[in-house]
Amino acid sequence: MAQEVNITQWIENFKKGEYSNTDFSTQCKAGWYDWFCKDSSLAGKTRALGVKLMQISKSPKINCETSYVWFKNNCPCNGSLYDDFRIADMETGDVIFTIVPKSGYRSMNGLGEVWGKENGFKEALMTGTWGEIKNWFLK
């Protein structure tokens, strides 16, 4: 994985367009770790997920100075490709939250989920639309 920058710096870089190029190197620098889609699709996914990250960055649940973000494109056996982003502690590398804006699993019917360290990732902390996920983070 690319050298991590904290979320505050990531958002600054994102706003300046540093993750806009479609090349492999740029998208790895943006934080892509694993994907099943075409490499050329990553820049669009970075744009979409970057906006979502900015929407929850003021959350009292996230310390943007001591955490970083990375991205994953998932391929479920029973559904379609979907993306998530993970908030991890810069010091330990431990994932604090896995945020799925819209799951590709058919059984989820397009809802998203938030998984977290607080319950050991045993079950979703919440399930809902992106609007509900955003509200959960901001309360």
Q: Which two tokens stand for residue 129?
A: 């639309």
CA–CA distance, 27 with 31 (Å, rounded to integer) = 7
The amino acid that residue 128 corresponds to is G
Per-residue pLDDT of the chain (139 residues; tens, 9 = 90+): 445 799 999 999 999 999 999 999 999 999 999 899 888 999 999 999 999 999 999 999 999 999 999 999 999 888 999 999 999 999 999 999 999 999 999 999 999 999 999 999 999 999 999 999 999 999 9
Domain boundaries, the chain: 7-138
**Could you tell me which residues come within 8 angstroms of residue 68 by beta carbon, excluding any fewer than 6 positions away?**
4, 5, 6, 7, 10, 31, 87, 88, 90
pTM for this one? Answer: 0.93
The pLDDT assigned to 132 comes to: 98
The pLDDT assigned to 1 comes to: 42
Give 3-state DSSP helix, strand, coil % of the chain, rounded to 5: 35, 25, 40
The pLDDT assigned to 3 comes to: 55
**How far, in Å, are 60, 79, 107, 111 from residue 87 at the CA level?**
13, 24, 25, 20
| Residues forming beta bridges with residue 26, ordered by sequence position | none
Residue 104 per-residue DSSP state: -
The pLDDT assigned to 77 comes to: 87
CA–CA distance, 114 with 29 (Å, rounded to integer) = 24
